[in-house]
Amino acid sequence: MKTRKTHGHPVLILGGGRGGSALLEMFLDDPLVQVVGIADPSPDAPGIRLAQAHAIPTHTDTLAAMRACKDYQDCIVYNLTHDETLAAQAVGVFGDNRVTNGAEAKLFWQMVTHLKQVKGELETSQSQLQAIIRNVMDGIVTVNASGEIQGFNPAAEKIFGYTQQETLGKNIKIFIPPDDQAAHTADVRRYLHSGVGGMTDVRCREILAVRKNGGLFPAELSASAMVLGGQVYFVGIVRDITERKLAEQKITHLAHYDPLTDLPNRALFLDRLTTSVALAQRSSHRMATLFLDLDGFKQVNDTHGHDVGDLLLRGVANRLSKTVRISDTVARIGGDEFTFILNNIGSAENALAVADKIIAALGPPFDFDGRICKVGGSIGIAIFPDDASNADTLVKQADEAMYLSKQSGKNTRRLHRDVLALTSTAA
């Protein structure tokens, strides 16, 4: 009879129990092997059912199975039954000893079972790893030594706006701002030549990255190098921190700005005042501190309520901001009290002129949906270095001058030297 050919080495399995089933399962994944038959007295044996699912001939008689496979050249018989007489039957059919059985078959079965277990554990581990990579919130990008993207998980797709297919094989520079690309290239080259580079073992470094639409966004990067098969790869874990940065900016803003008027608050005002005093001292020029208390604000609150009072404070803040230069500062330090920093004023008369401008700006009534509100302002002025040489004293002196304005009929301004003159006269 003509010898039959197979695509892999022909194998006949005797025994469809756990051992035979495990061996068949292993051979199904091996292109070097072709199982040409499996035999077991039980048609419900797991190996028989597996073979039938893959269109492999099955037999309930071992001798019939061997005869059916004798025309396959160099067919190997694996006897995973407990019947060692099958070896003699195989010699009668095939003419030589092609049977692995007994202790050899038991050892082979144990090896196959162990390999199957290891394979299952590896598949489970790989499945778990892939599930983590697919579902993790952070972007994971794998790059080879040439900078070509090798891996790109779904989170990275969401972060950068590219699909995996669009990025694989592309250079990692598509995510790097043009101004940073040269430094990145030099960093990678340094690592490849010396094993040292800022690119490796990076933990939570804040960077700017580029989305598909060209937009820049703040990101947090952790990166490390690894060697697989003698090849160097870089693995980057990227997190979009846009929302965190916005929250940080908001917190910082709230710490330094009045939430109602969005003017600098007391803390920021004092910080700027200290800086202005230092600059004025270094440059030998004058600067002024103004303290403003609104006249008539309590009546607005009592008449129209605190909601209208808040609207009034916002309106006042808007007008006050337009009365000073960009280099100056207007702040709300609490209630209806506002303070000013006027840098490099030249003379006290210039500070008085700004105060008059402020009072004039407050003159027109405020109209909030028909609710007319009118306020004025009493202003005190302290000059550096004429009145004091430090920030705290300047604020105190401007406050004292403001109270003198109140006593002088309100809606006016007074210098601290006026306070001193009044005190001297009273004495």
In a domain, 264, yes or no: yes
The residues with which 308 forms a beta bridge, in sequence order, are none
Residues 227 and 293 occupy one common structural domain: no
Give the CA angle between residues 383, 385, 386 to the nearest 5°. 65
Note the residue count of the chain: 427
Average pLDDT in the 391-420 region?
94
Domain assignment present for residue 249? The answer is: no
The residue out of 104, 127, 150 marking a domain boundary is 127
Question: What domain range is 52 assigned to?
Answer: 9-127
What would the mean pLDDT of 90-95 be, rounded to a whole number?
Answer: 84
**Nearest CA to 184 among 207, 203, 168, 166?**
207
Tell me: pLDDT of 1 over 50: no
pLDDT score at 200? 56
Residue range 182-203, pLDDT digits in tens: 888 887 777 777 666 555 567 7
Q: Where are the alpha helices (DSSP H) in 195-265?
A: 242-256
pLDDT digits (tens, 9 = 90+) for 241-266: 999 999 999 999 999 999 999 999 99
Least confident of 17-21, 30-34, 122-126, 352-356: 122-126
For residue 247 the two structure tokens come to 């929250």
Q: Same structural domain for residues 295 and 201?
A: no
Greater pLDDT, 193 or 274? 274
Same domain, 187 and 292: no
Residue 222 confidence (pLDDT) = 86
pLDDT over threshold 60, residue 297: yes
Give the residue, 6 or 275, on which the prediction is more confident.
Answer: 275
Q: Is the CA virtual torsion 325, 328, 332, 338 positive or negative?
A: negative
Token pair belonging to 401: 């001058």
pLDDT for residue 285? 94
Interval 11-32 mean pLDDT: 87
3-state DSSP of 257-276: ECCCCCCECHHHHHHHHHHH
Distances (CA, A) of 55 to 10, 14, 37, 66: 15, 17, 10, 18
Encoded tokens for 85: 């007489």
pTM score above 0.75: no
Q: Are residues 273 and 422 in the same domain?
A: yes
What one-character DSSP code corresponds to residue 174? G
Pairing of strands 371-373, 376-384: unpaired
156, 287: one domain: no
| CATH assignment at residue 40 | 3.40.50.720
| 296 belongs to a structural domain | yes
Give the mean model confidence (pLDDT) for residues 372-387.
95
Domain count, the chain: 3
Question: Which pLDDT value is given to residue 233?
Answer: 87
pLDDT on residue 133: 60
Using CA atoms, how far apart are residues 318 and 315, in angstroms rounded to an integer?
A: 5
pLDDT in tens, 139-151: 889 899 888 999 8
Q: With a cut of 90, say whether residue 411 has pLDDT above it.
A: yes
Residue 129 tokens, joined: 């790893």
Same domain, 72 and 113: yes
Look at the alpha carbons of 20, 23, 26, 31 in this order and tell me if their dihedral is positive or negative.
Answer: negative
376 band by pLDDT with thresholds 50, 70 and 90? very high
For residue 288, pLDDT over 90 is answered with yes
What is the domain-level CATH number for residue 386? 3.30.70.270
Amino acid in position 121:
E
Report whether pLDDT(359) > 90: yes
415 shares its domain with 386: yes
Distances (CA, A) of 336 to 270, 294, 353, 378, 405: 18, 6, 22, 11, 15
Using omega within 30 degrees of 0 as the cis cutoff, is the peptide bond preceding 41 cis?
no
Give the model's pLDDT for residue 317.
Answer: 97
Q: What is the mean pLDDT of residues 395-402?
A: 96
Question: Could you tell me if 147 and 233 lie in one domain?
Answer: yes
Helices 297-304, 306-321: axis angle to 10 degrees equals 140
Q: Is residue 251 part of a domain?
A: no
- Based on the domain organization, do 155 and 123 belong to the same domain? no
